[in-house]
Amino acid sequence: MAADQVAQKRLAAERASAEVRDGMVVGLGSGSTAELFVRALAERVRSGLRVAGVPTSEATARLARELGIPLVRLEDCPAVDLDVDGADEVDPNGQLLKGLGGALLREKIVAHAARRVVIVVDESKLVARLGERAPLPVEVVRFGWRRTAAALAALGLEPRLRGGEADPFVTDGGNLILDCRLDGAQDLAALAARCKLQVGVVEHGLFLDLHPMVVVGRADGRCEVRQA
């Protein structure tokens, strides 16, 4: 990753950490940008901020524990006040494509449990339409995954098993991921609904209608805040 891209991510992550207030339950996202947010949050915790974090992956949980951020289980929380995460693509309407890090299922559960969602990205993640650069990840159960892939292909997608058959990527939930090409012509809301109807599909990486605050780190050192 280029140094300027890391700087953009860090700028956005530090700006997002300012949204956290004392006593909040905070969703802790996964991936490189979310990691920078967790580190920024840990600095505030060391300075006396009281929070409880809900991690969206085992990797994030390990990092948060190492940095001294108290963690709670989602099922033990009446609500998540704020969820902060990254994204692989963000369109002009604040619609998101996520899941290249493999944690899309837990990320989506926490995002939908949160009162507010903040997405932190560098400017390379801004696209005119979802699928412009990244594939759509679809998490599927191992059993019968080829049949599930065929069902997704029938929807106009082109699924490929992440990691390949010899060494497939396995999610924290023990599932597989099929990375699917979007052709740009699909109705994303309809596609999302049809994906979920396929037997064997656990979740997909279209995060639609969350209306997040999007914090963008720019190459010129600015931090742009968008409210979807």
Query: Residue 72 in contact with residue 25, Cβ under 8 Å?
Result: yes
- For β-strands 136-140 and 114-122, DSSP reports them as unpaired
CA separation for the pair 48, 51 (Å, rounded): 9
CA separation for the pair 17, 67 (Å, rounded): 15
Our CA angle for 192, 198, 201, nearest 5°, is 80
User: Which residue in 14, 35, 89, 107 is the catalytic one?
Assistant: 107
* Strand arrangement of the beta sheet that strand 176-180 belongs to: 159-161, 176-180, 136-140, 201-204
Our CA angle for 83, 86, 88, nearest 5°, is 140
Q: Is 123 a catalytic residue?
A: no
User: Which residues are known catalytic residues?
Assistant: 107
